[in-house]
Amino acid sequence: MKSTRLTIAAGAGAAALLVLAACSGDSGTGGSSSTGAEGGDVTLQMVESLTNPARTELIRRLLDDFESENPGVTVELVSPPTEQADRTIQQMLQSGSGVDVLEVRDITVGPFSNNGWLYDLSDDLADWDGLDALTENARAVAEGDGGSYFLPYGFYGLSLFYRTDLVEQAGFDGPPESWQDLLEQATAIQDPANNTYGYAFRGGQNANSNVVVAIEAYVIDELDTENAFLMEDGSTIFAADEAQEAVDDYFALFEQASPPSAVSWGYPEMVEGFTNGSTAFLLQDPEVIATVQESTTLTDEQWDTAPLLVGPTGKAAQPLAVAGWGVTEASEHKAEAVALVEFLASEGPATEFAQANSLVPIIASAADDEFYAEGPWTSYVTMTENPDTYVNVSQPRGVSWWTEWIQKSDQEIQNVLLGNMTTAELLESWDTFWTEKYAAEG
């Protein structure tokens, strides 16, 4: 009888412990709440989302520097696999489970701040002496629009990667400057019989990005640069007359200068196509520079980068994508978390991070660094020095329907490529989508 009671008590106790453990959610995982209370020291939990091993190693090194400058503060870095990172971060934020610092991107800042998950850094930045060292673009991002929710670590800007040797062999003096030049040169270089293709056309995941960039270049004279999906009169760029010419030129690149399988080409296939020497032109972010430099097929003399392609009026819209570090509203150690974010955006760490990850830097003085003055980086300097030609624009990446837009537009682009839809129908569909979304938002 005694033993029976004992077993019942033990079982009930174990059950109670389990329930308590399950209910106490963040007490075990949230470094911020447990360690800080125990010894007076503070443990911050930081989550990155664009994880890769070399990048994680660099971040860890920068965190070690921060820890040595701030005795008593320890930073635990969480690095979920990139494919699952956004979902993991969302779940952590929703459960309020001890995240103090997190990677925030232009596509996540809107939803995260709407849901009240991000801490507004505005008051802290007013006292931060590092703000003046930032570039104009970085400062605009840091100060935000209606709230300051993250400090950027770098920008992703497009440039044209091109094969110097193939361009020369095809009889051209230099790389294309406009979209129409690109069509002409890529068509001339196209030679499927010898496994040589003109343009690394993006037909798979995120295909919409390059189509929109082309449209923006064609409508730039009346483009709303603060919301580059709209014209100055409030209509969408997809309804503009010039948009039709833009998409026709753009899709001609697929017909005349790309392999048929490019219908399903995403980032890896495009970059592989360029680095293995079979494709002459590639429109990509500077992060690809490091990958191409590692290519065993291409020598340094065989490739270079050129500024983003301009439209018929001689201007291009550069949709700078941006990401950085923010602090969660639920953090119990905001002062330390803000100090960490400011440290990462300060001159030394920010420049090191930008160079190692091939990002357009956020520190103004970094442009004078030799690193950016030679080789493939010169096109970025050219674009920075000519802001009237290469106009920086903001796309509405923070809207709650951004992922829905990406999926819809990518599917419809594939329908155009497969001949199931015309370019006019494509533009009409996109115009309707954005008009209805903005109307519903009020």
315 vs 397, beta carbon nearer other proteins:
397
Asked if residue 24 binds other proteins (CB under 8 A), the reply is no
Q: How far is the CB of 21 from other proteins (least distance, A)?
A: 10
Figure out which of the listed residues 77, 140, 263, 367 binds other proteins, where binding follows CB under 8 A: 263
Contact between 277 and other proteins by CB under 8 A: the answer reads no
Q: Does 400 bind other proteins (CB under 8 A)?
A: yes
Residue 140 CA to residue 103 CA, distance in Å, equals 18
Task: Round to whole Å and give the CA distance between 431 and 425.
Answer: 10
Of 25, 260, 348, 387, the residue at the interface with other proteins (CB under 8 A) is: 260
Residue 259 interacting with other proteins (CB under 8 A)? yes
The C-alpha atoms of residue 112 and residue 119 are separated, in whole angstroms, by 10
Q: Confirm or reject binding of residue 256 to other proteins (CB under 8 A).
A: no
* CA distance linking residue 397 with residue 367, whole number of Å: 27
When the beta carbons of 145 and 404 are compared against other proteins, the nearer one is 404
CB of 434 to other proteins, least distance (A): 16
Nearest to 257 by CA among 329, 167, 319: 167
Q: Are 99 and 85 in contact (CB under 8 A)?
A: no
Count of positions on this chain that bind other proteins (CB under 8 A):
52
203 close to 254: Cβ distance less than 8 angstroms: yes
Structure tokens at 154: 């770098």
Kindly tell me which residue out of 297, 386, 420, 432 binds other proteins, with binding defined by CB under 8 A: 420
| Cβ closest to other proteins, residue 220 vs residue 292 | 292
Question: For residues 365 and 400, which CB has a smaller minimum distance to other proteins in the complex?
Answer: 400
* Nearest approach, Cβ of residue 118 and other proteins (Å): 13
Alpha-carbon distance values, 234 to 119, 255, 400, 409 (Å): 31, 33, 19, 21
The verdict on 114 binding other proteins (CB under 8 A) reads yes
Residue 284's alpha-carbon distances to 78, 92, 407, 427, in angstroms, are 28, 32, 20, 23
Q: Which two tokens stand for residue 54?
A: 């070399």
CB-based burial, 252-286: b 16+ in 10 Å, e otherwise: bbbeebbbeebbebebebbbebbbebbbbbbbbbb
Q: Considering beta carbons, is residue 203 or 361 the nearer one to other proteins?
A: 203
- How many other CB atoms are found less than 10 A from the CB of residue 433? 18
> Quick check: 90 binds other proteins (CB under 8 A)?
yes
Binding mask 348-387 for other proteins (x = CB under 8 A): ----------------------------------------
- Least Å distance between CB 280 and other proteins? 14
> What is the smallest separation between the CB atom of 406 and other proteins, expressed in angstroms?
9
Per DSSP, the three-state class of 316 is strand
Q: Which stretch binds other proteins (CB under 8 A): 126-134, 238-246, 334-342, 406-414?
A: 406-414
What residues numbered 197-236 form the site for other proteins, per CB under 8 A?
197, 203-205
Nearer to other proteins, 29 or 235 (CB): 29
**Residue 15 binding other proteins, by CB under 8 A:** yes
Strand duo 159-163 + 303-306: pairing: antiparallel
Angle between helices 402-417 and 208-218 (to 10 degrees): 90
Starting at the edge strand found earlier in the chain, the sheet holding 73-78 runs 73-78, 42-47, 101-105, 321-327, 151-156
Among 417, 423, 430, 434, binds other proteins (CB under 8 A): 417
Q: Which is nearer to other proteins, 147 or 348 (CB)?
A: 147
Interface residue with other proteins, options 248, 418, 425, 436 (CB under 8 A): 418
Minimum Å gap between C-beta 7 and other proteins is 5
The position carrying tokens 């978390």 is: 337
How far is residue 45's CA from residue 101's CA, in Å, rounded to a whole number? 6
Using CB under 8 A as the criterion, which residues of the chain lie in contact with other proteins when the complex forms?
1, 4, 7-12, 14-15, 18-19, 22, 83, 87, 90, 94, 110-111, 114-115, 195, 197, 203-205, 259-264, 266, 269, 272-273, 276, 278, 400-404, 407, 410-412, 414-415, 417-418, 420
